């Protein structure tokens, strides 16, 4: 049992509560200041998270040696290269929905013989499609509806779904890298 949950120990609980309250207040003030300064805080917040996940994926693709691109932990799952192709392909479908432009997916997931250099370049090009989609939005436009899986959804929701999808697959890439003895980009410098 945690010490602050011991009955009668109000001093320890009070100290932790005061600390958590102070951190929460500082975070709220920081977010409030950022929101007051940002012209489009919803879109700008999405851009920050998108860039974080995008950079982790690109750095993982660059860090994994090419000889491990065909690696798959079990036969039923995508290889490292196929996973990168899948991530790249999805950028076209989700972000084209946000902009309303028709940008057909290049079908990279189904091209297992692409070199590491070709896949990394294609991945960067695909992420540029989403960078442009995010850059085209204001907060007002972000809440407008766009087609999404046979329904209508706010453009920001589509972008958020895409970022969550990317981060989910970054988690797969992390596992592949760890299985090959590599430290993934998001953990570099933590050892």
- Rounded distance between C-alpha atoms, residue 79 and residue 110, angstroms: 11
Cα 158 to the center of its chain, rounded Å: 13
Based on the fold, state whether residues 57 and 128 are members of the same structural domain. Answer: yes
Based on the fold, state whether residues 50 and 1 are members of the same structural domain. Answer: no
- Spans of the chain, pLDDT less than 50: 1-18, 21
| Contact between residue 64 and residue 79 where contact means Cβ atoms under 8 Å apart | no
Which residue range forms the structural domain that includes residue 58? 40-187
Based on the fold, state whether residues 100 and 121 are members of the same structural domain. Answer: yes
pLDDT at 7: 43
- Rounded distance between C-alpha atoms, residue 79 and residue 85, angstroms: 10
- Rounded distance between C-alpha atoms, residue 101 and residue 66, angstroms: 33
Q: Please give the tally of structural domains in the chain.
A: 2
Based on the fold, state whether residues 97 and 17 are members of the same structural domain. Answer: no
Based on the fold, state whether residues 19 and 51 are members of the same structural domain. Answer: no
Radius of gyration of the chain (CA): 21
Based on the fold, state whether residues 132 and 106 are members of the same structural domain. Answer: yes
Kind of pairing between the strands at 151-154 and 145-148: antiparallel
Based on the fold, state whether residues 148 and 91 are members of the same structural domain. Answer: yes
Q: Which helix (H) or strand (E) is 96 found in, with range?
A: helix 80-99
Residue length, the chain? 191
Based on the fold, state whether residues 12 and 93 are members of the same structural domain. Answer: no
Based on the fold, state whether residues 32 and 47 are members of the same structural domain. Answer: no
pLDDT at 190: 63
CATH code of the domain covering residue 168: 1.20.120.450
pLDDT at 12: 43
Based on the fold, state whether residues 54 and 137 are members of the same structural domain. Answer: yes
Whole-Å CA distances, 42 to 31, 36, 45, 135, 160: 12, 12, 5, 12, 11
Based on the fold, state whether residues 123 and 29 are members of the same structural domain. Answer: no
Based on the fold, state whether residues 88 and 26 are members of the same structural domain. Answer: no
pLDDT at 58: 98
pTM equals 0.79
């Amino acid at each position: 049992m945690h010490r602050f949950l011991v009955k009668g120990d109000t001093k320890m609980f009070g100290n932790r509560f005061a600390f958590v309250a102070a951190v929460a207040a500082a975070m709220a003030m920081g977010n409030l200041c950022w929101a007051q300064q940002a012209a489009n805080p919803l879109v700008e917040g999405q851009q920050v998270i998108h860039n974080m996940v995008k950079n982790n994926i690109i750095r993982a693709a660059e860090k994994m040696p090419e000889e491990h691109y065909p690696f798959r932990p079990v036969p039923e799952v995508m290889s490292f290269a196929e996973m990168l192709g899948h991530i790249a392909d999805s950028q076209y479908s989700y972000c084209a929905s946000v902009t309303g432009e028709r940008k057909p997916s290049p079908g990279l997931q189904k091209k297992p013989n692409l070199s590491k250099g070709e896949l990394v370049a294609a991945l960067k090009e695909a992420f540029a499609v989403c960078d442009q989609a995010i850059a085209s939005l204001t907060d007002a436009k972000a809440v407008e509806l766009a087609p999404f899986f046979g329904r209508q959804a706010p453009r920001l929701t589509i972008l958020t779904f895409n970022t969550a999808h990317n981060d989910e697959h970054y988690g797969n890439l992390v596992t592949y890298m760890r299985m090959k003895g590599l430290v993934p980009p998001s953990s570099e410098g933590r050892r």
